[in-house]
Amino acid sequence: MKTIAVVGGGITGLCALYEMERQAKAQNIDAQFILIEKNDYVGGKIHTVTTDEFAMEVGADSIVARHPGVLAMVEELGMAQELVYNETGTSYIHTNGELHGIPLNSTFGIPMSVESLMQSTLLTEAGKERALQDVTTPNTTFTKDDSIGHFLTSCFGDELVTKQIAPVLSGVYSGNLYELSIASTIPYLLDYKKQFGSIIKGFEANREKFEKANDKKFISFKRGLSSFAERVCQSLTKTEVLTNVQLELLEKKGEQYALYLSNCDIRYVDEVVLTTPHDVTRRFFNDDALQPYFDGFRNGSAITLYLGYDVPDAILPADGTGFIVSHNSSLQCNACTWTSRKWKHTSKHEKLLVRLFYKDVHPRYEEFKAMSDAELVRVAMDDIKMSLDVTDEPTICEVTKWIDQMPRYDLAHRKTRDALVDYLAIHYPNVVLAGCSFYGVGVGACMQNGREIATRVISTIS
């Protein structure tokens, strides 16, 4: 009987185990599984904090509904009746003391039609004219390994990218657009440019696909995202789940691996799936030759704050769901989600709940990082006062610091990952990397990666 260990009980590890159990049963494979998770709960960056009034996602707040396999897995787990979808409405950019709506027919701030471009209140007429050159200027030099920032600037000009696209896209991918590759962000834009000669024309040709997915893009659950992670874990009938236990050392022992655990236990296994962040994963190996392979990975940081108020959510702009902050705003946050508006299930009595983001791209980030929770709350309250004119004291505050825990897919990421994978294949066969540090940002991408890795692992033992 083969023994397979999964290290890390986030959504990647959970989905890997779910798929391995399913395939092992279908193929009548005799195997046993172990999950090793350092926290006393599963889910990793999926974690819901609840009070009598509010539900707050301190990590990821939703799953992209159209991501392959997501809704099918929800059905398999019997959670379809628990699903909730995001409320739709206008997203804003805060600039020069005002909220400007991002045109609805856009994605990541990128106009999907000429009409959408012309509707923008953020651009000058000259900026719009420059952006229209996308329609007539072909791509002759860019590949998917190039910078998404340089590519978009080449297509649309600096004004559209700086004022409308960068605030959105930098927020989603937690990095500087000029240090992120096309491949790791929106690779299909280059395909559109190649096939149609224009990004805008590419969107117009695929209008039906985007319109179908546009209204209800994201899902969560009535009891929060944690309920989904917990349900996946509960479905694992052939897995020994170890929580409050850390892997301290992985050592090759003949054809197997010895896993030295923080509870003084040693487990001998045949296959290991490491879903932990790269800076955690590197500590499992006592191998000086391996360590340089981890040096090329980069992490970002973010501080998030929830403020809940005893005032009605109705004070918000009628059609809005939140805003992103531009470079010339007086606000200190990078973005603010009007959570009680976007996700109705997060506020039992329709009270105002907002979530603010302070990221390491902000010039004052190091100052914010050193602040106490109380000091951060005061900064956030000032931002809410300036942006929404809410002067009440919040009834609930929830501060979460994700310090060096946000994977950053810079231009060297894929090359760095592939070199590490090649080294492991030679020196540590049957040790597999998975998770957001290596294979994709977002819950849906991690779910897919976990299940794909499971297929690879099962194929080696079948």
Dump pLDDT digits (tens) for 2-35.
999 999 999 999 999 999 999 999 999 999 999 9
**pLDDT tens digits for range 225-272:** 999 999 999 999 999 999 999 999 999 999 999 999 999 999 999 999
Question: What is the distance between the alpha carbons of residues 165 and 151, in angstroms, rounded to a whole number?
Answer: 12
Which residues of the chain does CATH 3.50.50.60 include? 2-44+225-296+412-461
pTM of the model: 0.89
Measured between alpha carbons, how far is residue 133 from residues 153, 348, 410 in Å? 11, 48, 27
Closest of 83, 426, 386 to residue 221, by C-alpha: 83
DSSP 82: G
Q: Would you list the DSSP string of 6-29?
A: EE--BHHHHHHHHHHHHHHHHTT-
Query: Which superfamily does CATH assign the domain made up of 104-213 to?
Result: protoporphyrinogen ix oxidase, domain 3 (1.10.3110.10)
Question: Within 10 A of 158 (CB to CB), how many other CB atoms are there?
Answer: 12
pLDDT score of 215 more than 90: no
* One-letter amino acid for residue 325 of the chain: V
In the beta sheet, which residues pair with residue 35? 6, 241
Residue with token string 């079948």: 462
Is the backbone of residue 139 left (phi > 0), alpha (psi -120 to 50) or beta? beta
The encoded tokens of residue 30 equal: 């005799």
**pLDDT tens digits for range 281-310:** 999 999 999 999 999 999 999 999 999 999
Which residues of the chain does CATH 3.90.660.20 include? 298-408
**pLDDT tens digits for range 326-376:** 888 899 999 999 999 999 999 999 999 999 999 998 889 999 999 999 999
Is the backbone of residue 32 left (phi > 0), alpha (psi -120 to 50) or beta? beta
140 vs 10, which has greater pLDDT?
A: 10
Q: What dotted CATH number matches 298-408? A: 3.90.660.20
CA angle 41, 4, 31 (to 5 degrees): 115
Which residues of the chain does CATH 1.10.3110.10 include? 104-213
Question: What is the distance between the alpha carbons of residues 271 and 273, in angstroms, rounded to a whole number?
Answer: 7
The encoded tokens of residue 135 equal: 């329609």
CA angle 202, 204, 210 (to 5 degrees): 95
Q: Which of the listed CATH numbers 1.10.1840.10, 2.40.50.100, 3.50.50.60, 1.20.1050.10 matches domain 2-44+225-296+412-461?
A: 3.50.50.60
Greatest alpha-carbon pair distance for the chain in Å reads 69
The enclosing H or E element of 279 equals helix 278-281
